[in-house]
Structure 1
Amino acid sequence: MPDGSDAALARTIGSIKEIDPAQWNRLANPDPSRYNPFVSHEFLSALEQSKSVAPETGWAPLHLIVEEAGAVTGAAPLYVKGHSQGEYVFDHHWADALERAGGRYYPKLLSAAPFTPVPGPRLLAPNDNAKQTLAVALRQVTEQLGASSAHVNFITEDDKAALVKAGFMARMGEQYHWFNRGYETFDDFLAALASRKRKAVKKERREAGDGLVIRRLVGADITERYWDAFWLFYQDTGARKWGYPYLTRTFFRIIAETMADSLLLIVAERDGEPIAGALNFIGGDALYGRYWGCLEDVPFLHFELCYHQAVEFAIERGLSRVEAGAQGQHKIARGYEPVATWSAHWISNESFREAIARYLEAEREQTGMEIEALKDVTPFRKT
């Protein structure tokens, strides 16, 4: 599919295995200091190999690549979606509105890291012109397939600029991230909190750890015993939150082999038996909290494993921030701060697109005001 120039050609591929891992990773993570594991060939390949993403699950891979003179100069992870599950940018009410009006919302196209509400690059290209080529090609693919829409979730500012220029509509969301302001120890971080909040965090940590052994395991230290335990934790959380776990056991086996050095499992044990765990991915400058579960309800243990231990690890590693997943205003009291996240959307139907544009304009204003208001209630000492 030509993009309007003689030099560049955009086409789709049905599996990530059709592109050389080194080629993909050079585009996805050209700067190791900013490595984002969720756009790596290893992560996306593990999803496909494990059948966590597949046509049968409503996630049919259709990755977009741009080639010039036989070389891949741009790529975007892309899926044909038969539903809106596992995305964390909620458009179910858009689907309902279009279908009530006699239209068809599914299938749609989605460029994202599946099941992963982590901001990062989606238009994997070395410069703005190449990103623009990908953005335009994504619209063209949408039209050629007759899909209702194309969505690009949790994007960078550079990606947003290219997509908006190509006619996509920007949508603002919010998350809560912890930022390392040069802390050398967890106590340094606590010292930045207001006295009442500092005491509350200390109390949480004491009570959560009472009678438990908490371990932080990286890479090969996460033995099969711990993976088996974590799978039970993940299944329990998945069944309660989504109705079924999105990821298969095979997915975790594969990433344990191909991404070991990027994995941190924080586990709590009672009498030598794991009872809860939180799996994190280690990026170039950030720690990403992803999956949590437990077999025993212990007060404050979720906060300890998912937030406090993550912060302590980030400080020890000199990482700039912790991103602990979607939603959750309760994170603010633990030192996480509200930040804006962005997605971009193209709607094929013109009248429906205009209605969505009006909705997004109002939503951006409301979300922006909420983020500003929440910044006033962070637990840090006022200066």
Structure 2
Amino acid sequence: MPVHRIDSLHAVAPEAWDALLAEPQPFLRHAFLSALEDSGSVGGRSGWRPDHRLLVEGGRLLAALPAYRKSHSYGEYVFDHGWADACMRAGIAYYPKLLGAVPFSPVRGPRLLGLPHAAGQLLDELAAGLEEEGLSGAHINFTDALADSLLGDREGWLERLGCQFHWHNRGYRDFQDFLDTLASRKRKQLRKEREQVAGQGIDFDWREGRELSEAEWDFVYACYANTYHVRGQLPYLARSFFSLLAERMPEAIRVVLARQGSRPVAMAFSLVDGESFYGRYWGCLAEFDRLHFETCFYQGMDYAIAHGLRRFDAGAQGEHKLIRGFEPEITRSWHYLTHPGLRAAVAEFLEQERHGVRGYAEEAWELLPYRQG
């Protein structure tokens, strides 16, 4: 069965694509990925050209890999700029490359969709055709256990480790119940941070996707875009992405608006599924002490507790999450490089890096604020 390539998810019926998903995570749904395409957040001149791979038999979709032909390495959160720089110095073409990922979303989850044997066949066909397609390699980021098993069993795929910080709801009755699990000094620090925000007269208003007006989405986008503008960068997502997502999967969207009196001043945009809360985007249009921690972390923890969600994934990086109870978790990505010299050099680098990442995660455990014993 040959692997088919498509440059738009509109070539696949939403129900056929979503039927491949083994779990309800929102980032792999047809609605999310097609909203990225239709808004122009990917495609066009973005450097993210949709190049999805499908395994089809008798008109039936058996497996899929959401994938993009990349002309740069931005928006991936698995950093290979050093590899690209080394290739440029050596006269090796690193771009274009193929990336299996959810654009701009460092969220661990399914990447090889469908039954394992079909997904494995798709992988084999993919690797065999890279050079013919003029690609330097294939990269699959933030994989789940199924993809790790399939990729780990195949020759040529190199494993890379990373570390994120996730918070786990262990059946807390409320935020105070969580605070009671912390060492005294850390408990006082978190309580003081929340009191500082409340003392500035800031209240919070939670909304689902269908409950926001277009004017409120304008505010959400202005906050989101400002987090890039203050660093002299352009935002990855287009304004229309938020409206399209609110139209196509409003039940998965959660937005908390921070207000001082009647004036909105900040927001955090998140997605949810049956057991997880995914903090994605934040932004503010005025500076307030400790507002970032309250809006991005404590409000999300409150929400997860109140709604019985077991896990809070607040995104990539951020040691500041540790003292707020977010625990280190190892993430994985996989890399298939066609140039033998590059593959050997990267393999040696990754072996050393894995030791460093594991050591970093072990040290991070020692910094958690929970009471001992």
Where does residue 78 of structure 2 map in the other structure?
89
For 1:224 and 1:317, the matched residues in 2 are separated by 27
Indicate if the aligned counterparts of 1:120 and 1:154 stay in contact, CA closer than 8 A. Answer: yes
AA partner of residue 132 (structure 1): G
Per the alignment, do residues 242 and 349 of structure 1 end up closer, same or farther by CA in structure 2, a change over 3 Å counting? Answer: farther
For 1:130 and 1:87, the matched residues in 2 are separated by 26
Q: Which is worse superposed, 138-147 or 314-323? A: 138-147
For 2:94 and 2:241, the matched residues in 1 are separated by 29
For 1:338 and 1:241, the matched residues in 2 are separated by 27
Where does residue 52 of structure 2 map in the other structure?
63
For 2:5 and 2:232, the matched residues in 1 are separated by 30
Where does residue 69 of structure 2 map in the other structure?
80
For 2:77 and 2:11, the matched residues in 1 are separated by 28
- Work out whether 1:14 is the aligned partner of 2:7: yes
Where does residue 268 of structure 1 map in the other structure?
258
Where does residue 302 of structure 2 map in the other structure?
312
For 1:38 and 1:275, the matched residues in 2 are separated by 27
Indicate if the aligned counterparts of 1:265 and 1:278 stay in contact, CA closer than 8 A. Answer: yes
Indicate if the aligned counterparts of 2:337 and 2:343 stay in contact, CA closer than 8 A. Answer: yes
**TM (normalized to structure 1)?**
0.95
Indicate if the aligned counterparts of 2:65 and 2:111 stay in contact, CA closer than 8 A. Answer: yes
AA partner of residue 57 (structure 2): E
Structure 2: 5+ residue stretches without partners: none
Indicate if the aligned counterparts of 2:2 and 2:125 stay in contact, CA closer than 8 A. Answer: no
CA shift for structure 1 position 346: 0.5
SS of 1:144's partner is coil
Where does residue 342 of structure 2 map in the other structure?
352
CA shift for structure 1 position 256: 1.1
Give the number of aligned pairs. 371
Where does residue 237 of structure 1 map in the other structure?
227
For 2:103 and 2:136, the matched residues in 1 are separated by 20
CA shift for structure 1 position 217: 1.2
Where does residue 224 of structure 1 map in the other structure?
214
Per the alignment, do residues 241 and 118 of structure 1 end up closer, same or farther by CA in structure 2, a change over 3 Å counting? Answer: farther
Cα deviation code 1:182-237 (max 9, x no counterpart): 11211111111111111111111111222112111123222223211111101111
- Work out whether 1:323 is the aligned partner of 2:313: yes
SS of 1:118's partner is coil
What are the equivalent positions in structure 2 for 1:93-172 lying under 5 Å apart? 93-126=82-115, 128-166=116-154, 167-172=156-161
SS of 2:95's partner is coil
CA shift for structure 1 position 39: 0.6
SS of 1:184's partner is coil
- Work out whether 1:192 is the aligned partner of 2:192: no
For 1:241 and 1:24, the matched residues in 2 are separated by 37
Indicate if the aligned counterparts of 1:209 and 1:301 stay in contact, CA closer than 8 A. Answer: no
For 1:201 and 1:374, the matched residues in 2 are separated by 19
AA partner of residue 204 (structure 1): E
For 2:231 and 2:69, the matched residues in 1 are separated by 24
Per the alignment, do residues 109 and 202 of structure 1 end up closer, same or farther by CA in structure 2, a change over 3 Å counting? Answer: same
CA shift for structure 1 position 238: 1.9
SS of 1:86's partner is coil
Q: Which is worse superposed, 154-163 or 138-147? A: 138-147
CA shift for structure 1 position 241: 4.3
For 1:352 and 1:65, the matched residues in 2 are separated by 28
For 1:223 and 1:347, the matched residues in 2 are separated by 46
AA partner of residue 134 (structure 2): G
AA partner of residue 153 (structure 1): N
AA partner of residue 201 (structure 1): L
Where does residue 24 of structure 1 map in the other structure?
17
AA partner of residue 141 (structure 2): N
SS of 2:19's partner is helix
Indicate if the aligned counterparts of 2:210 and 2:247 stay in contact, CA closer than 8 A. Answer: no
Within the candidate set 258, 271, 289, 2:279 is matched to 289
SS of 1:176's partner is strand
Identity of aligned residues (%): 43
**TM (normalized to structure 2)?**
0.97
For 1:300 and 1:86, the matched residues in 2 are separated by 27
Cα deviation code 1:18-49 (max 9, x no counterpart): 00100110112x34xxx111111000000000
Q: Which is worse superposed, 112-121 or 219-228? A: 219-228
For 1:247 and 1:26, the matched residues in 2 are separated by 27
What is the alpha-carbon root mean square deviation over aligned residues? 1.2
Indicate if the aligned counterparts of 1:226 and 1:274 stay in contact, CA closer than 8 A. Answer: no
CA shift for structure 1 position 314: 0.7
For 2:231 and 2:27, the matched residues in 1 are separated by 22
CA shift for structure 1 position 242: 6.6
What are the equivalent positions in structure 2 for 1:29-68 lying under 5 Å apart? 30-31=22-23, 35-68=24-57
Per the alignment, do residues 241 and 287 of structure 1 end up closer, same or farther by CA in structure 2, a change over 3 Å counting? Answer: farther
Cα deviation code 1:233-290 (max 9, x no counterpart): 0111122347101000110110111111111111111121111000001122100000
Within the candidate set 358, 361, 369, 1:368 is matched to 358
Q: Which is worse superposed, 171-180 or 217-226? A: 217-226
